[in-house]
Amino acid sequence: MIRLGVVGVDEPHCRELSRRIRGATLVPIRQTSSASIDPFEVDAVVFLGSQLPAPTVIEHLIADGTHVLLGTEYIDPVEVLEAATKQATTGRAQLVVTNPDRMLPSRRLIFDEIATGKLGIPGLIRIHRWEPVDSARLIGPGQLPAALVRDLDLTLWLKGHRPNVVFAAGRIGGVATGDVLQVHLGFADGAMALIDYTNTLPAGDGYQSLSVISSSGAVYADDHSNRQLMFRGGTASAEATDEGLLPIVNLLQSFIDCVLTDDDPPPAVAWWRQVHELAVAVRQSLETARAVPLEGR
Amino acid sequence: MTSTNRFRCAALSVAKHNYVARGVISHPRFELTVVTDDPDVPDWLHERNQAFADANQIPYVPNVEQALRDFDVQVAIVSPEAERHCDLSIRAALAGKHVIQDKPLSTSRSECDRLVATIEQTGVRFLMWNRNGLPAVQRARQRIEQGAIGKPIAIHADFYFAKDAGPPKGSRQPGYPPIDWLAHQVAAHVDGSDGGLGRQAMGELAVEGIYPLGYIRLLTGTEVRRVFARATAHFHQVHADNHVEDLASVTLEMDEGLIATLAIGRIGLASHPSGGEIKLHVLGSAGAMVINEARPDVGVYYRNQPAKESRQRRVASENDFLLADSFAQAIDTGGPTMLDAIAGRRIYATFEAALESCRTGQPVDVT
């Protein structure tokens, strides 16, 4: 049993998570400064949500032998991640960086179905992600919306390797006008991906859809299909049945298991460098209005 | 007062899609009077023409000009092999007949241009058959026109047909000759798995792309200026052997900064229980909408259900009626049709540019 400090989740949610987790006691942590996290109180710390810890916080935690999970799109800059990974490798702590979207039950199912081979070779990955206006947050050297970076990671994860060409269109308007972006990827085996992202929806619900068209089958995960009707006069409204706490439960449990069994964490630096390069290529394509070739597999 | 006079129609070849002719004559103002074609078409085509004529208890006349003249026709319904689409439409227009034509518009740009010039010169009405009258699409159009989501700023179309097309890619043994495109399509007609019918092989962009691009035109009212595309033969041996795509993705840059995308493919029967996922995602300046093109539908499931039978059956479609009705009004008033020759030519140019983009790896202007 380990003591797991959780940053970025409020206490009621933390209590709910505790009831679903094996092998750890959860300790909610409000502040992310190094001084506020007592290494004698926790064995490991997980950072969730959009507030990334400062590099020095990670450095201090790892130096104290505290395992760290970054449940975020941590790529800015990759060198910080590289240094922290080296520090963790030589020390006795684990550092894990995971895109939390990979832990959505729907995305795990899709990944697993592809991995079994029953769907054949993925030919087209299609993602729609629409967010409300207040969710704009640009990250990394590509200065792209954080959620789009997570979708780039998700696409690479599902396809298994990097593309050889990137084309992007749209606008990054920031808070004033919002971002409307379209990313088009081509892979050396002829496969392709289309990622549609915006944060211009009116305040309220967002929308996500992911489909993978493969050579002998297809998968479709779409918020459109997972809506329930509500009748309160006038036009009916559609309310989401989302995936609840399970994405975070999955994220925490896989990290706890990794710590308890002392398994090697999945390689983070090389992977995130790949995502970083892709994000830079997207930005370059947006600025030049040209397709950007990449060294693909 | 609404006109009720009837239009006498000739089916100019029913090489593949007799659904166009059937769709037109489902409207009470249109009646089919003759099936016709050129005398030198292959025997299999004469047989199909004759069978359709027999089914409708009308004559089959293997001489187009004679049939148009002798049967006092006002409307030509054109559905031969793709290479002959424009030629038959042009001959009908030059004879003063209004034209309803099957997809694709053509297999060559020069034929598209010749058609557009002829339609303008003769002043007849021309309609590219399309799906813009489907209830879900009409509803989307109505809501956009009402301002429900503000001004459209991005639109994304998924247009997948869950159909097979002969043996899967990779199934041909080394040393075997490539599958002949036309022979395959003619033979596949029996079970409805035929695709673009013609001597020249056609990918899914050319064959089916008219539909989603028709939606995008309808819902945005703007023109495509530049495209970036990727395409591949991912599923079917006949496409791989003939070097045409069965899966494609296109980014479209349009007037007024509007962005659109298209994902299109003939993705195999196993990939969807009901014929294929077809959706529209429309982002506006004040909201957005997600449209399932197949709605309304009814689920039908039973023991020993054939694999090819759709589980979700579309209902309440008035697409045929709306297309024919608007065409009748266009004839009555000299007004526009739901998808005219200029729009068809523009769609052809979009796919031509998309295929060029696939070859060059760069975005290409649509001209």
Instruction: Quote the ipTM score.
Output: 0.94
pLDDT value, residue B2: 66
**How close are the terminal C-alpha atoms of chain A, in Å?**
42
Q: Which helix (H) or strand (E) holds B356?
A: helix B341-360
Of B170, B197, B214, B238, nearest to B338 by C-alpha is B214
Mutating which of A119, A127, A196, A295 best tests the B interface, going by the most B Cβ atoms within 10 A?
A196
Per-residue HEC secondary structure of B190-239 comes to: HHCCCCCCCCCCCCHHHHHCHHHHHHHHHHHCCCEEEEEEEEECCCEHHH
Name chain A contacts of B156, Cβ cutoff 8 Å: 128, 194, 196
What mean pLDDT comes out for the span B61-76? 97
pLDDT value, residue B183: 95
Which of A38-42, A233-237, B158-162, B176-180 has the least mean pLDDT?
A: A38-42
Q: Which of A186, A190, A218 sits opposite B272 (nearest CB)?
A: A218
Cα–Cα distance between A122 and A119 in angstroms, integer?
8
| Contact between chains at B290 and A207 (C-beta distance less than 8 A) | yes
Of B130, B155, B132, B160, nearest to B264 by C-alpha is B160
Name chain B contacts of A204, Cβ cutoff 8 Å: none
Q: Which helix (H) or strand (E) holds A283?
A: helix A269-288
Question: Do A258 and A94 form a contact (C-beta atoms < 8 A)?
Answer: yes
Cα–Cα distance between B32 and A217 in angstroms, integer?
42
Question: Do B354 and B212 form a contact (C-beta atoms < 8 A)?
Answer: no
CA of B332: how far to CAs of B124, B291, B337, in Å?
11, 33, 11
A 129-188 residues inside an 8 A Cβ radius of B = 130, 165, 167, 169-171, 180, 182, 184, 186
Q: What is the mean pLDDT of chain B?
A: 96
pLDDT value, residue A33: 62
Q: Which of B156, B169, B263 sits opposite A124 (nearest CB)?
A: B263
pLDDT value, residue B16: 80
Question: Do A266 and A96 form a contact (C-beta atoms < 8 A)?
Answer: yes
Alpha-carbon distance A292 to nearest alpha carbon in chain B (angstroms): 8
| Contact between chains at B268 and A217 (C-beta distance less than 8 A) | yes
| Contact between chains at B232 and A130 (C-beta distance less than 8 A) | no
Contact residues for A60 (Cβ-Cβ < 8 A; gap 6+): A34
pLDDT in tens, chain A (297 residues): 999 999 989 899 999 999 999 999 999 998 666 556 676 689 999 999 877 788 889 999 999 999 999 998 766 778 888 899 999 988 889 999 999 999 999 999 999 999 999 999 999 999 999 999 877 778 887 889 999 999 999 999 999 999 999 999 999 987 678 899 999 999 999 999 999 999 999 999 999 999 999 999 999 999 999 999 999 999 999 999 989 999 999 999 999 999 999 887 777 888 888 999 999 999 999 999 999 999 865
Which of A39-43, B234-238, B320-324 has the least mean pLDDT?
A: A39-43
- Whole-number CA gyration radius for chain A: 20
Name chain A contacts of B253, Cβ cutoff 8 Å: 169
Name chain B contacts of A224, Cβ cutoff 8 Å: 279, 290, 292
- Whole-number CA gyration radius for chain B: 20
Token look-up 């060559």 returns B108
pLDDT surpassing 70 at residue B11: yes
Which of A96-105, A129-138, B52-61, B340-349 has the least mean pLDDT?
A: A129-138
pLDDT value, residue A36: 63
Q: How many CA atoms does the CB half-sphere of B140 hold within 13 Å? A: 30
pLDDT value, residue A296: 60
Q: Is A190 on the interface with B (CB under 8 A)?
A: yes
Size of the A and B interface in Cβ pairs below 8 Å: 118
Query: Of all residues in chain B, what percent carry a pLDDT higher than 90?
Result: 92
| Contact between chains at B234 and A224 (C-beta distance less than 8 A) | no
Cα–Cα distance between B224 and B161 in angstroms, integer?
24
Cα–Cα distance between B326 and B100 in angstroms, integer?
12
Contact residues for B72 (Cβ-Cβ < 8 A; gap 6+): B8, B33
What amino acid occupies position B330? A
Cα–Cα distance between B205 and B202 in angstroms, integer?
8
Tens digit of each residue's pLDDT (9 = 90 or more) over B118-130: 999 999 999 999 9
